[in-house]
A and B are shown apart, each in its own frame.
Chain A
Amino acid sequence: DAGVIQSPRHEVTEMGQEVTLRCKPISGHNSLFWYRQTMMRGLELLIYFNNNVPIDDSGMPEDRFSAKMPNASFSTLKIQPSEPRDSAVYFCASSFASGDEQQYFGPGTRLTVT
């Protein structure tokens, strides 16, 4: 298995632009998590899905952030419009909730908003 796949790996964009981050979970996993990591705030859970349904989005910082999971093999995190304070590493992770429960992290997307 290729593990959790994220794209792009690096994204540099100007303030005000729309940013879309993509994630492909491990095949067979039924839970998907989006995290944001910064030096100041550490590793924050933004939103998570079970069986493609958003369960808790209380970590989403503002209405500028939205996430979707149209099917079991794909999820997106969108920021519109982006701001410099959104600069961070965004990780996607997946797990099999009824199995070993371990969350497997993707390589992350390093977002820089100028």
Chain B
Amino acid sequence: GENVEQHPSTLSVQEGDSAVIKCTYSDSASNYFPWYKQELGKRPQLIIDIRSNVGEKKDQRIAVTLNKTAKHFSLHITETQPEDSAVYFCAASIGGGFKTIFGAGTRLFVKA
């Protein structure tokens, strides 16, 4: 069945460093790849998304890249800040209104 693998499960960085989270998906029909941030005790919230017709997207300190051939996509956070500490989930679907498979999550710690 469909699967999304996410690595690493835990990531600890120093404030100001960059953080990279990588995901691999199995369903070649997937064409929508959102990333969610979940702070402790709160709901997941979308931080950035990318569609299959785009290879890269950037929003301030956050960027996402997509390699459809390899079925890989990655989240890059630059100049990390303590408030970036949270669990980050990648996901894949054939569209936002359809079945969405989430990765297992990456717990990011940013040390001040």
A residues adjacent to B (C-beta < 8 A): 30-31, 33, 42-45, 48, 50, 55-56, 91, 95-108
Residues of B within 8 A of A95 (CB): 96-97
Are A97 and B49 closer than 8 Å at their CB atoms?
Answer: no
A4 to chain B, nearest CB (A): 9
Distance in angstroms between the alpha carbons of A104 and B103 in the assembled complex? 17
Distance in angstroms between the alpha carbons of A99 and B95 in the assembled complex? 10
Q: A43-B44, A105-B44, A107-B43 are in contact. Are A100 and B96 (CB under 8 A)?
A: yes
Contact of B104 (CB < 8 Å), options: A42, A48, A100: A42
Contact of B105 (CB < 8 Å), options: A42, A48, A50: A42
Residues of A within 8 A of B96 (CB): 31, 95-97, 99-103
Contact of B32 (CB < 8 Å), options: A33, A48, A101: A101
Q: A33-B100, A42-B104, A45-B100 are in contact. Are A91 and B43 (CB under 8 A)?
A: yes
